[in-house]
Amino acid sequence: MRLGLVLSEVGQGLRRNLSMVISVVLVTFISLTFVGAAVLLQMQITQMKSYWFDRAQVAVYMCTEFSTVGGCDQQVATPDQVALVQAQLEGATLAPFIDTFYFETQQQAFENFQEQFAGDAVADLITPELLPEAFWVNLIDPTQSAILSDALGGLAGVESIVDQRSYLDQIFDILNVSSLTAIGIAALMLVAAALLISTTIRLSAFSRRREIGIMRLVGASNRFIQTPFIIEGVVAALIGSVLAGFAVVGIVQFFVQGYLAETLPLTSFVGLSDALLVVPILLGAGALLAALSANVAITRYLRV
Amino acid sequence: MIRFDEVSKVYRGTARPALNGVSLEILSGEFVFLVGASGSGKSTFLRLVLKEERPSSGGIHVLGQDLGAISSRKVPYFRRNLGVVFQDFRLLPNKTVFDNVAFTLQVIGKSKGFIHEAVPDALKTVGLDGKAQRFPHELSGGEQQRVAIARAVVNKPAILLADEPTGNLDPETSAGIMALLERINANGTTVIMATHDAGIVDRLQRRVIEVIGGRIVRDERGGGYKTQAHPVVNQGFGMAPSALPVVAPFAAPTSVGEQR
């Protein structure tokens, strides 16, 4: 009986305020889509980080006859110097931190380069002498590349020690900035959504102020008066959230999996399971946002 | 039933109090006229009884409850003991007579069965049986006020507050409404009615409380709109002594406790 009464009030409110309700639906839809996109982007970054950082190596470049930096003096590192570095890597100090390492000769480096830049004009200009010999080291903990720099940095014949993660970091910085942008836009949109919801509820309460006045007069409990309005806001926001959920799943299904994954087959992308994880977050966020802002809006009408 | 102890009410942003040191007691089953010019504090008095406002100072007891001690969450439950009628009826235009009266019971969670018994009963009391399915705009002013009264008494409140219930009605219709209020009063409901209608007050000869500038200047039983016989309270409540006739107190309710 009471539930039926509350629901019929909700239905009346939604119908009476249809255009405002539609705008609430649209604004929550768009803002939550941004939230979803930001969350997915963060997931993507985490996923790529763990994928690439595990594969990221530390390169210990030996001197070439052209290099002047580090312990080099325009001389190719001698076999003795190379052996010394290798001994260090196998020694008791560094060995506990190192998973595996291998040595790359100038010729191997040249072949790798040719393969990587096949068809590029630069491939024709490079000769094996230009490329340094290198030890490629896989660390057990990829964040500890500083240990190698400390131990090997000063040795004669070592040109430089480069952590590949430093290249990756730049890429991730860019991705991070774009995800932060998405979050920023989402936050602004959410503020707009919250304000719009509370305005809508206030309008709805205003159009029913006679009923509310009488309800207060005859002793309807505050909760009874509030509930239809809160449900009204939550229903509108939930419709928007569901649309946002569809949008997020659609983006992952058709854009990420359908387009990006085909174009860049080597990278792993977020999948449908990740998107489906985001959907309940969006629904919860939408409902909570609406309930709170509707509650704030309607409480003003109930001050005794 | 209702007791005011030195109650003052100053609205925010105004210097002059709407009620100023008002003390009075209204007993169960009384019929009280509240008279005075517009802005004298009659409506403030009714709003305080309803706990729509809280007093700036002083204590109010209604139905044995200290209004200052009722949390705002409990106020709705307190109000279920009161019925209220206004000059402008305040009916819901999109609901039928039946639904207007039933609305009161619906929103306080009464069962369908109870509503279908109580509403026709209340409509019969006010003489509107047979018009349950009409809409307010199809009724005359007097009939609309009867619907409002039915709504106010359908939950059998102990107190009925009426704020100028006859203000919009012609004398003949007013007389009908007053007969109805008297009948409700005769059934045990305390009725407090704010009014400007001198004719009604003079004719009914009930307790009259006159308020001027937020102070009670006269409280007499069996009084008229202007006459000043039998004052219940002869302490001057701050007014000039000369304005108050010195007459022996009539049944002054000095030690009546919080009875309902």
* Minimum-distance CB partner of A218 among B73, B79, B112: B79
Beta-strand relationship, B190-195 and B159-163: parallel
Residue with tokens 């004009």: A121
* A214 at interface of B, judged by CB pairs closer than 8 A: yes
Q: For residue B19, what pLDDT is reported?
A: 92
Please list the pLDDT of chain A residue by residue as tens digits (304 residues): 477 878 888 888 888 888 889 999 999 999 999 999 888 888 888 888 777 777 778 888 888 888 777 677 777 888 888 888 888 888 888 888 888 888 888 888 888 888 877 777 777 788 888 888 888 888 888 777 888 888 887 777 888 888 888 888 888 888 888 888 888 988 898 899 899 999 988 888 888 888 888 888 888 888 888 888 999 999 999 999 999 999 999 999 999 888 888 887 777 788 888 889 999 999 999 999 999 999 998 887 776 5
Q: What is the dihedral of CA A20, A25, A27, A31, to 10 degrees?
A: 160
Specify burial of residue B113 (Cβ count, 10 A radius: 0-12, 13-18, 19+): exposed
Measured between beta carbons, the chain B residues lying within 8 angstroms of A218 are 79-80, 84, 103-104, 107-108, 151, 155
* DSSP 8-state symbol, B231: B
Measured between beta carbons, the chain A residues lying within 8 angstroms of B82 are 219
Whether residue B135 is predicted with pLDDT greater than 80 in this model: the reply is yes
Nearest-by-CA chain B residue for A217: B79
* B73 at interface of A, judged by CB pairs closer than 8 A: yes
* Minimum-distance CB partner of A304 among B75, B92, B107: B75
CATH topology (fold) of B2-81+157-255:
Rossmann fold (3.40.50)
CB contact under 8 A, B109 and A216: no
CB contact under 8 A, A219 and B72: no
* Minimum-distance CB partner of B79 among A5, A210, A217: A217
Is the interface score ipTM higher than 0.90? no
Confidence of residue B222 (pLDDT cuts 50, 70, 90): confident
Which two tokens mark A266? 């080597």
User: How distant is the Cα of B93 from the closest Cα of chain A, in angstroms?
Assistant: 10
SS3 B252: coil
CB contact under 8 A, A217 and B109: no
Q: For residue B247, what pLDDT is reported?
A: 46
Average pLDDT, chain B: 86
Whether residue B149 is predicted with pLDDT greater than 90 in this model: the reply is yes
Domain with CATH 3.40.50.300 in chain B: 2-81+157-255
Measured between beta carbons, the chain B residues lying within 8 angstroms of A220 are 76, 107-108
Measured between beta carbons, the chain B residues lying within 8 angstroms of A210 are 90, 92
Measured between beta carbons, the chain B residues lying within 8 angstroms of A5 are 106-107
Measured between beta carbons, the chain B residues lying within 8 angstroms of A1 are 106, 111-112
Q: What is the dihedral of CA A249, A252, A255, A260, to 10 degrees?
A: -170
Beta-strand relationship, B57-62 and B19-26: unpaired
Report the alpha-carbon distance of residue B170 to residue B174 in Å, rounded: 6
Handedness of CA A110, A111, A114, A116 (dihedral sign): negative
User: How distant is the Cα of B84 from the closest Cα of chain A, in angstroms?
Assistant: 7
Report the alpha-carbon distance of residue A100 to residue B82 in Å, rounded: 86
- Nearest CA to A304 out of B18, B83, B70 is that of B70
**Cβ atoms A291, A233 nearer than 8 A:** yes
